[in-house]
């Protein structure tokens, strides 16, 4: 890696840069979609402007981080098998890096006291590069831009309003094999930026939409696909607005899928998004925070191949709420990290919970990561067991829309415009064998996981069902219509995440702030801790703390924005936390989190009468139950009727007491 260069222009002396300053507490996202003329071929939520180096004479010799070239041929060969098996439609792979404003790049100081940091990252022959950060924070007044080698694509500026509470951030793909980051800071800014780049995604296919000099390259799906702007979409304009392409990351690879914003019974514009579980395929919490959602990536003229590429708007980040495996209905529900700005013109699609078919149906999707397409089924939906709907696509006036890799996760609508399924796998293709194997073609079907099964039948835990999230009052309406993204009030929802709440002594924990807030207002945060080494409170967005004392300790986050206050408390369990270490692996309580029942299993306990007690986190007994246990059996108990939160289950045998911590989420 090339060492950092600091160049002082004229009068300013070199100063040591201390990056790790305490973060400011402000965060908001007043939405301005930056379209920098013809040079900007993407539109991440940003604030416009021009990189200073475009108009200010600066030295041309800046640091370049040259990354290893990827063996693209081996990945392309592997993709043939992956695509035929219906796996995630991969377009790129990750290159791990460690690039910060301290160890890479060049600093220039201007005469007036302003300063600029630039870093160029190259990876030979990449079609595009994606930039991912494991720590990102910009002080108020500063700006960050990214652009490609020809400067035909510029994104930004990003500023303090883009600061993610979690600290994890990403940028959309930048065309070509070179990207330059340019950070500008005016004189008088007291704090230093945190720009810590952890991964560069090397994109090697399905990125032609970025090459604005080649009009035809962005339309890379099969020839029979039908643009949503064609007449087939005329009765589906609202539903089309709710469907997006999503760039996903997991296991060091990046891929395209499709999905839809979905309404909930509170109709409060909470940004729930539904796609397929096999798209996530075990994605970590941190990886989900870098997922990129592309809205309005579609043509304005039906099948007009001479039209220049569309400019989508992107939102970054999500957290998983519920999922079901591909062996069942293959669904994955997330909550976006930000409310969807009204300027995006999005739509929250409705759904149907009853297991009933439809005389006709419609699929809306992004095949091969391409612009949005529409496919029509003119025959009755066929049920395949309890998990799936089967569709056969029909020829229409503009083509014969099918699905492809990248369509996974897209919604299937019934004739009343309600989502009834999520695309899991299929055999459809424009031509015989067109999906990469003989049993594929225009007369072969696709399979959609049933929304009705995903609603409440996939499991008992809240993270296995749609109902706990999409029904705020616990009811099961047979249908819910969609709604426009036109809410006037956005509820403030404080929340945070830790990778593990049960930890050994001496563990340092990162608390990831995932608060959902009104995009038009700043938000401040106040944390309070118990049992930690260091300060018991802080205003930092996502702090770390070390635990050196046994016990169960509360962590409270209070968020304040636009006159609203929201507070959440969770517990850290340190050391034995009142649990006898001899029994840690001998007693199993599940599910955890739980909603209405729990199961208790013992690996070595004789038949006897036992007492099971439930305590809240302040030690109050909320329920006790006498149980006769038979050796080798399982105990199933109804949970007490209590509020959501953490509780202690204490099991009293004839020799000892065993305690376990569980969470209850109704």
Question: Does the pLDDT of residue 78 top 80, yes or no?
Answer: yes
Give tens-digit pLDDT for 590-623.
Answer: 887 788 888 888 776 777 888 898 887 666 788 8
Q: How many other C-beta atoms lie within 10 A of the C-beta of residue 129?
A: 26
Question: Does the pLDDT of residue 419 top 50, yes or no?
Answer: yes
Based on the number of CB atoms within 10 Å of its own CB, is 219 exposed (0-12), middle (13-18) or buried (19 or more)? buried
Question: Does the pLDDT of residue 129 top 90, yes or no?
Answer: yes
> What pLDDT does 16 receive?
29
Question: Does the pLDDT of residue 132 top 90, yes or no?
Answer: yes
Q: CB of 392 within 8 A of CB of 377?
A: yes
Question: Does the pLDDT of residue 318 top 80, yes or no?
Answer: yes
Q: How many helices and strands (H and E) does the chain possess?
A: 6, 47
> What pLDDT does 99 receive?
97
Q: Which domains does the chain have, with CATH numbers?
A: 5-208 (no CATH), 224-484 (2.40.10.10), 496-574 (2.60.40.10), 581-664 (2.60.40.3080)
Question: Does the pLDDT of residue 23 top 60, yes or no?
Answer: no
Give tens-digit pLDDT for 91-125.
Answer: 999 999 999 999 999 999 999 999 999 999 999 99
Closest CA to 126 of 181, 200, 38, 215: 200
Of all residues in the chain, the percent with pLDDT exceeding 70 is 88
Give tens-digit pLDDT for 170-226.
Answer: 998 999 999 999 999 999 998 999 999 999 999 998 886 665 544 444 567 888 999
Where does the pLDDT of residue 319 fall: very low under 50, low under 70, confident under 90, or very high at 90 and above?
Answer: very high
Closest CA to 203 of 239, 182, 238, 177: 177
Alpha-carbon distance 196 to 236, whole Å?
Answer: 43
Q: What kind and span of H or E run contains 277?
A: helix 277-280
Give tens-digit pLDDT for 452-476.
Answer: 999 999 988 888 999 999 998 899 9
Give tens-digit pLDDT for 636-662.
Answer: 998 888 877 778 888 887 766 777 778
Question: Does the pLDDT of residue 4 top 70, yes or no?
Answer: no
Q: CB of 104 within 8 A of CB of 1?
A: yes
Alpha-carbon distance 443 to 400, whole Å?
Answer: 11
> What pLDDT does 20 receive?
29
Please give the mean pLDDT across all residues of the chain: 86
State the average pLDDT over residues 399-417. Answer: 95
Alpha-carbon distance 10 to 50, whole Å?
Answer: 23
Closest CA to 159 of 139, 173, 131, 174: 139
Alpha-carbon distance 237 to 178, whole Å?
Answer: 38
Q: CB of 348 within 8 A of CB of 482?
A: yes
Alpha-carbon distance 350 to 553, whole Å?
Answer: 41
Give tens-digit pLDDT for 235-261.
Answer: 999 999 999 999 999 889 999 999 999
Give tens-digit pLDDT for 554-575.
Answer: 999 999 998 999 999 988 888 7
Alpha-carbon distance 69 to 71, whole Å?
Answer: 7
Q: CB of 516 within 8 A of CB of 566?
A: no
> What pLDDT does 532 receive?
96
State the average pLDDT over residues 20-47. Answer: 39
Conformational region of residue 551, where left means phi above 0, alpha means psi within -120 to 50, and beta covers everything else? left
- Comparing 154-163, 411-420, 477-486, the range with the smallest average pLDDT is 154-163
> What pLDDT does 190 receive?
86
Question: Does the pLDDT of residue 309 top 80, yes or no?
Answer: no
Q: Which residues have CB under 8 Å from 146's CB, separation 6+?
A: 131, 154, 155, 156, 171, 174, 179, 180, 181, 182
């Amino acid at each position: 890696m090339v060492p950092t260069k600091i160049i002082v222009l004229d009068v300013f002396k070199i100063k040591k840069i201390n990056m790790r300053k305490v973060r400011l507490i402000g965060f908001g996202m007043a939405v301005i979609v930056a379209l920098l003329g013809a040079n900007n071929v993407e539109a991440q939520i940003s604030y416009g402007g021009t990189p200073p180096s475009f108009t200010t004479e600066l030295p041309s010799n800046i640091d370049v981080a040259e990354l290893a070239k990827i063996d693209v041929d081996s990945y392309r060969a592997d993709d043939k098998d992956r695509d035929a098996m219906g796996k995630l439609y991969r377009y790129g792979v990750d290159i791990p890096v460690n690039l910060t404003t301290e160890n890479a790049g060049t600093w220039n100081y201007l005469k007036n006291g302003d300063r600029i940091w630039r870093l160029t990252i190259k990876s030979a022959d990449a079609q595009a590069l994606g930039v991912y950060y494991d720590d990102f924070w910009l002080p108020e007044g500063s700006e960050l831009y990214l652009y490609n080698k020809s400067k035909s694509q510029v994104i930004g500026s990003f500023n303090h309003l883009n600061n993610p509470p979690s600290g994890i951030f990403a940028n959309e793909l930048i065309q070509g094999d070179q990207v330059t980051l340019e950070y500008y800071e005016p004189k008088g800014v007291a704090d230093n930026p945190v720009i810590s780049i952890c991964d560069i995604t090397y994109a090697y296919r399905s990125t032609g939409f970025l090459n604005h000099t080649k009009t035809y390259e962005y339309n890379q799906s099969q020839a029979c696909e039908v643009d949503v702007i064609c007449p087939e979409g005329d009765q589906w304009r609202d539903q089309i607005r709710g469907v997006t392409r999503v760039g996903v990351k997991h296991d060091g690879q990046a891929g395209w899928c499709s999905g839809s914003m979905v309404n909930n019974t509170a109709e409060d514009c909470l940004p729930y998004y539904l796609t397929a579980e096999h798209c996530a395929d075990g994605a970590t919490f941190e990886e989900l925070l870098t997922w990129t959602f592309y809205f309005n990536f579609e043509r304005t003229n039906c099948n007009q191949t001479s039209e220049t590429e569309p400019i989508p708007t992107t939102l970054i980040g999500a957290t998983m709420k519920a999922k079901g495996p591909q062996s069942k209905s293959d669904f994955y529900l997330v909550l976006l990290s930000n409310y969807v700005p009204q300027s995006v013109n999005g739509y929250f699609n409705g759904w149907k919970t009853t297991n009933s078919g439809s005389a006709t149906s419609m699929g809306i999707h992004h095949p091969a990561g391409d612009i949005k397409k529409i496919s029509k089924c003119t025959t009755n939906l066929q049920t395949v067991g309890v998990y799936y709907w089967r569709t056969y696509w029909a020829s229409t006036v503009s083509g014969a829309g099918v699905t492809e890799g990248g369509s996974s996760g897209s919604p299937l609508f019934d004739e009343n415009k309600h989502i009834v399924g999520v695309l899991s796998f299929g055999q459809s293709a424009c031509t015989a064998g067109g999906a990469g194997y003989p049993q594929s073609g225009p007369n072969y079907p696709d399979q959609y996981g049933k929304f009705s099964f995903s609603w409440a039948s996939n499991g008992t835990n809240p993270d296995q069902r749609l109902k706990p999230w999409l029904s705020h009052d616990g009811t099961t309406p047979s249908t819910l219509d969609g709604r426009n993204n036109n809410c006037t009030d956005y509820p403030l929802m404080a929340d945070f995440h830790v990778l593990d709440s049960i930890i050994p002594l001496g563990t340092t924990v990162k608390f990831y702030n995932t608060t959902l807030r009104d995009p038009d207002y700043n938000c401040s945060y106040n944390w309070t801790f118990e049992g930690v080494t260091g300060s018991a409170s802080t205003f930092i967005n996502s702090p770390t703390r070390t635990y050196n004392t046994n016990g169960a300790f509360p962590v409270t986050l209070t968020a304040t924005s636009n006159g609203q206050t929201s507070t959440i408390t969770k517990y850290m369990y340190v050391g034995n936390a009142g649990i006898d270490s001899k029994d840690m692996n001998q007693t199993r309580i599940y599910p955890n989190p739980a909603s209405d029942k729990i199961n208790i299993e013992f690996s070595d306990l004789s038949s006897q009468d036992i007492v099971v007690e439930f305590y809240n986190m302040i030690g109050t007994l909320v329920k006790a139950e006498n149980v006769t246990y038979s050796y080798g059996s399982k105990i199933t108990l109804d949970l007490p009727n209590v509020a959501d939160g953490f509780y202690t289950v204490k099991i009293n045998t004839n020799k000892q007491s065993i305690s376990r911590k569980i969470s209850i989420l109704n």
